[in-house]
Structures are given as structure tokens and as C-alpha cells.
């Protein structure tokens, strides 16, 4: 009875942190919520229950997912809401290089460890772009027009 009272008191008075939904992780055709704390929900969501637009995280390492979530939580939602997919695409120079596919047709190359410091520049860069481009933030920041393959 005491634990029930404590639970009731805590329910009405305790502050539990609210974590934002960052995106979804896909495993075996099931989708799992990723929160800004870096936690991955244990309960799967079927594809038909996904929102119309969402961020798909294609990383497998749980530590990288946690780091990504924590960094994205620091970036303005006007930018993060435009990210469609994040994939790890290491280069010879950068082991944690990732590719961000944006809903506006652009692609961003940025090290996972630098998302919170480099991604805020996207707003300034994208205002000058007239056709789908690659914004390379691996070393410095520069852009070039995508070529059809």
C-alpha cells in the first residue's frame, strides 16, 4: 500500500523528463522510436503506423545512435525536420562520416561527431542553392551540384 501511495504521489508531483522523438531505426522490417536521450524504444511500430514524414536512421551501432540523437536534439528543428535519412558512409579520412538525405533534394556529408556544430550552417547555405546539391561538411564546408548518375 505504501509503494502504491508513493507511486500516486510521484505521478502527480514528480517531474519526469520528456524526450523528443528524433527518428526511427529499422530492424527486420520493424521500426523503433529513437528519443533525444539516445534511448531506442523496445516496442516496434509497424510501417503503416509511421508518420507521413519521418527521419530514418540507418546506423547499427547503439553508441553511434545515442550520440547522433543527443547531437540532433541540439540542432534547430527547422533543420532536423528536413532530414529524411541518415546513413554511415565512412571515408578514408573520416571514420564517422555520415550522409544525410534531405527532403529538399540536397545531400549533406558530415561527421557524426560534428553534427551539432556543423549542421546549423545548413540554413545559411541552402538559401543560395537553386538545384539539388551536395553540401560537404567533412573538412570545412563547401557545396557542389549533384550530377545525375
The whole-model pTM stands at 0.84
Average pLDDT over residues 41-66: 93
What is the structure's pLDDT at 7?
44
Q: pLDDT value at position 5?
A: 44
Note the residue count of the chain. Answer: 149
Q: What is the pLDDT of residues 101-125, one digit of tens each?
A: 999 999 999 999 999 999 999 999 9
Instruction: Map residue 26 onto helix, strand or coil.
Output: strand
Instruction: Fill in the DSSP letter of residue 3.
Output: H
List the Cα angle 26/79/149 in 5-degree steps: 65
* 140-146: long-range pairs with CB below 8 Å, 24+: 146/105, 146/107
Amino acid at each position: 500500500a505504501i509503494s502504491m501511495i508513493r507511486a500516486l504521489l510521484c505521478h502527480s508531483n514528480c517531474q519526469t523528463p520528456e524526450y523528443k522523438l528524433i527518428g526511427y531505426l529499422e530492424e527486420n522490417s520493424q521500426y523503433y522510436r529513437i528519443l533525444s536521450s539516445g534511448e531506442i524504444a523496445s516496442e516496434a511500430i509497424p510501417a503503416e503506423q509511421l508518420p507521413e514524414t519521418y527521419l530514418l536512421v540507418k546506423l547499427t551501432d547503439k553508441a553511434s545512435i545515442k550520440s547522433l540523437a543527443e547531437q540532433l536534439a541540439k540542432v534547430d528543428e527547422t533543420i532536423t525536420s528536413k532530414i529524411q535519412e541518415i546513413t554511415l558512409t565512412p571515408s578514408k579520412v573520416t571514420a564517422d562520416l555520415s550522409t544525410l538525405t534531405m527532403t529538399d533534394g540536397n545531400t549533406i556529408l558530415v561527421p557524426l561527431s560534428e553534427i551539432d556544430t556543423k549542421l546549423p550552417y545548413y540554413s545559411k547555405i541552402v538559401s543560395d542553392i537553386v538545384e539539388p546539391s551536395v553540401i560537404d561538411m567533412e573538412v570545412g564546408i563547401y557545396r557542389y551540384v549533384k550530377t545525375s548518375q
